[in-house]
Amino acid sequence: MSNSELSRVIVRPVDEYNQKLVSYVHPPDWVNPQPADCYDLVVIGAGTAGLVVAAGAAGLDLGLKVALIEKHLMGGDCLNVGCVPSKSIIRSARVIGEVWHAKNLGINIPKQQVEVDFSAVMERMRRIRSGISHHDSAERFKNLGVDVFLGNGCFTTNQTVEVGGKILRFKKAVIATGARAVKPSIPGIENVGYLTNETVFSLIQRPDKLAVIGGGPIGCELAQTFRRLGCEVTLLHRGSHLLNKEDADAAEIIQNVLIQEGIRVVLNCQLEEVVAVTEGKRLYFSSNGYRDSVTVDEILVGAGRAPNVEGLNLEAVGVKYDTRHGIQVNDYLQTTNPKIYAAGDICMNWKFTHAADAAARIVIKNTLFSPFGLGRSKLSSLIMPWVTYTSPEIAHVGMYEYEAKKQGIEVATIKIPFSSVDRAIADGEEAGFLKILHKKGSDQILGATIVASHAGEMISEVTTAIVNKIGLSKLSSVIHPYPTQAEAIKKAADAYRRTLLTANTKRILGFLTKFS
């Protein structure tokens, strides 16, 4: 009997695309292999971190024995309920954003002539997701030389994991079980039902009225997306402004854009109760001393993530954890059991696909190629960029000013508004900016924030500069094509160079001209 017969996975709606997805990432006819005598690595969790560890170790062609365990869908959040589906529908929503702003570019498109086919948008997303899913498939990893086990992995001893009634012995193990959406503690919400990022992509009909709880990156991205796709959206956030972990100037731009696009933004919001009414689901809340309510068709919760630590029997192997922050690891991603490592959302504050990928590479190095602990890589050495995929996008890398001050580093800031960048003016996208933080009296870049349509594409140049210790002076000598919005980076570097023109420097330069 196949393991999947014990825990058959269904992804709704059950159409050709989701059936294709499941056939790759949790095939119903999958039969778990007979375990090897002993594995060099057993990886629990086949999201980004687990897949990269397993593929990376097996792909070295060193004869390593690697096992990969997944109880649900291979590909994890990124493929199934995260990056891939969200960016697919964000792309559709961006078209609507362009239409809304077309009049400013001399193109008149009456709103009544623009029809959003919501079911087609969601079908396109499912088609894209299923088309990509073969990269994360059980069969592909089997062909890479990985033993793939579908089922719940659970530690039984310091050297063994049990899955589907089979015992896997290991030299080292890696926990990469990820995280899930936090269940909201709002009275009545369980009774009326709600959506999270794990269920919202199963929608086939557009809710006319949608409440989004949480004004962080997920909440803002999806609130804007569903507003553009035709929903009446109320965004409820407990903070005093949206995206409160981001640069305040950047967050203000996004907050203003969302309001301008017709989203009702409720700040300093305390949710009190949810009740079912004839018209739908009614949320009662208070904000700035006033009590109010909103009635919607659906509620989307985008506030917080919880680590998947349950069911692993971590106590049996001495791995410390807590249910809020996840598994405790050191800078080498080693748990309190030296034979067991962790990577990704289960143990890291950076809950991004690219962060999980980078952490997985550290784990491969530290578990397999650091004898006696020599030459180990550190998580703290990573320079981590991230992007919030609103329109415009916010991209950030490195330090914020408050972080630098906390470390006692004196800083200076260069800010280039896109209203001074010719391409941004031509594109009608002057609202954004580039802000670079550098060490005072030095051209060393400490951090950067970009607000632009494609800020995520632009931030990598600054990330590369920080990683390779390339200062603003050298960036000033890099030729940027004209006209591009990335020219803002050169403008910032040039602005730094101009600060070097002191009175003494000018006198020296003036003297040199007399002999040139």
Summarised one tens digit per residue, pLDDT across range 13-49 is 999 999 999 999 999 999 999 999 999 999 999 999 9
| 216 labeled part of a ligand binding site | yes
Each residue's pLDDT tens digit, 204-236: 999 999 999 999 999 999 999 999 999 999 999
| 220 labeled part of a ligand binding site | yes
Question: What mean pLDDT is predicted for residues 407-422?
Answer: 98
b/e string for 214-227 if b means 16 or more Cβ within 10 A? bbbbbbbbbbbbbb
Cβ 154 vs Cβ 167: under 8 Å? no
Nearest to 219 by CA among 87, 96, 388, 395: 388
- Residue 1 has what pLDDT? 39
Cβ 272 vs Cβ 187: under 8 Å? yes
Percent of the chain residues topping a pLDDT of 70: 98
| Whether pLDDT at 368 is above 70 | yes
Residues 392 and 457: their CA atoms lie apart, in Å, by 12
128 lies in some domain: no
| 428 labeled part of a ligand binding site | no
Same domain, 334 and 209: no
Same domain, 278 and 204: yes
Average pLDDT of the chain, as a whole number: 96
Boundary (domain end) residue, out of 278, 303, 328: 303
| 318 labeled part of a ligand binding site | no
110 lies in some domain: no
Boundary (domain end) residue, out of 303, 325, 343: 303
CATH number at residue 247: 3.50.50.60
10 lies in some domain: yes
Residue with tokens 């731009």: 253
* Domains held by the chain: number: 3
Dump strand ranges (E) for 297-389: 298-301, 305-307, 321-322, 326-327, 340-342, 386-388
Element (H, E) at 76: helix 76-80
- The most distant pair of C-alpha atoms in the chain lies apart, rounded to whole Å, by 90
Strands 232-236 and 264-266: parallel
Same domain, 143 and 251: no
Domain holding 168, by residue range, is 3-76+134-181+306-379
516 lies in some domain: no
For the chain, how many residues are written?
516
Same domain, 298 and 340: no
47 lies in some domain: yes
Residues in Cβ contact with 421 at an 8 Å cutoff, skipping those fewer than 6 apart: 483, 485, 487, 488, 491
454 lies in some domain: yes
| 164 labeled part of a ligand binding site | no
108 lies in some domain: no
Each residue's pLDDT tens digit, 323-350: 999 999 999 999 999 999 999 999 999 9
| 273 labeled part of a ligand binding site | no
Each residue's pLDDT tens digit, 376-395: 999 999 999 999 999 999 99
| 262 labeled part of a ligand binding site | no
Indicate the burial class of 284 (C-beta count within 10 angstroms; 0-12, 13-18, 19 or more). Answer: middle
Nearest to 446 by CA among 459, 431, 462: 462
Same domain, 213 and 260: yes
Residues in Cβ contact with 77 at an 8 Å cutoff, skipping those fewer than 6 apart: 47, 83, 178, 179, 197, 198, 345
Q: What are phi and psi of 100, to 5 degrees?
A: -60, -35
| 153 labeled part of a ligand binding site | yes
Q: What are phi and psi of 512, to 5 degrees?
A: -65, -35
Same domain, 341 and 360: yes
Question: Confidence class of residue 506 from pLDDT cuts 50, 70 and 90?
Answer: low
- Residue 502 has what pLDDT? 73
Residues 54 and 312: their CA atoms lie apart, in Å, by 19
Query: Which tokens belong to 39?
Result: 């594995």
| 331 labeled part of a ligand binding site | no
447 lies in some domain: yes
| 345 labeled part of a ligand binding site | yes
Same domain, 149 and 44: yes
Same domain, 323 and 296: no
CATH number at residue 431: 3.30.390.30
| 187 labeled part of a ligand binding site | no
| Whether pLDDT at 6 is above 70 | no
Same domain, 12 and 153: yes
For helices 455-467 and 487-499, the axis angle rounded to 10 degrees is: 40
Same domain, 235 and 207: yes
- Residue 3 has what pLDDT? 46
Question: What mean pLDDT is predicted for residues 257-285?
Answer: 98
Boundary (domain end) residue, out of 379, 402, 419: 379
Same domain, 317 and 329: yes
Each residue's pLDDT tens digit, 140-198: 999 999 999 999 999 999 999 999 999 999 999 999 999 999 989 999 999 999 999 99
Same domain, 435 and 491: yes
Cβ 205 vs Cβ 124: under 8 Å? no
Residues 232 and 224: their CA atoms lie apart, in Å, by 10
